[in-house]
Amino acid sequence: MGKQMTEMLKGTLEGIVLALLTGKAAYGYEITTQLREQGFTEIAEGTVYALLVRIEQKGLVDVEKRPSEKGPPRKVYTLNTQGEKELNEFWNTWSFLSGRIEELRKEGK
């Protein structure tokens, strides 16, 4: 993946995944697939799993294990109240940053 994109994803990928979980539970492999479909074609699987471990430890999601028809059991993640709060803060932070940056772009800077 481009080095720029890698660095830019720091701090945003977590928000992206939380947003994906809004209103719809999902498991790791599924999230990876969704990210790929949405254009993030080169996000490594390991990156997603590490992130999921992190947000689980931070208490932003609830986890349930469900047997799969094919392959090992899935770990299904659901956004909880604290996760929604975190996602809200993410949108605030994002709005501020993207506002500033778009300003710079407009100024031809």
Partner DNA sequence: TACCGGTACCTAGTTCTACTATGTAGTGGT
Partner DNA sequence: ACCACTACATAGTAGAACTAGGTACCGGTA
Q: How far is CA 76 from the centre of its chain?
A: 14
**Edge-first strand listing for the sheet containing 61-66:** 26-27, 74-79, 61-66
Greatest CA separation found in the chain? 55
Tokens read off for 53: 């471990």
Q: Does 45 bind DNA (CB under 7 A)?
A: yes
Q: Does 12 bind DNA (CB under 7 A)?
A: yes
Binding site for a second copy (CB under 8 A): 2, 4-12, 15-16, 19-20, 22-23, 38-40, 89-91, 93-94, 96-98, 100-101, 103-105, 108-109
Binding site for DNA (CB under 7 A): 1, 3, 5-7, 9-14, 27-30, 42-47, 49-54, 68-76
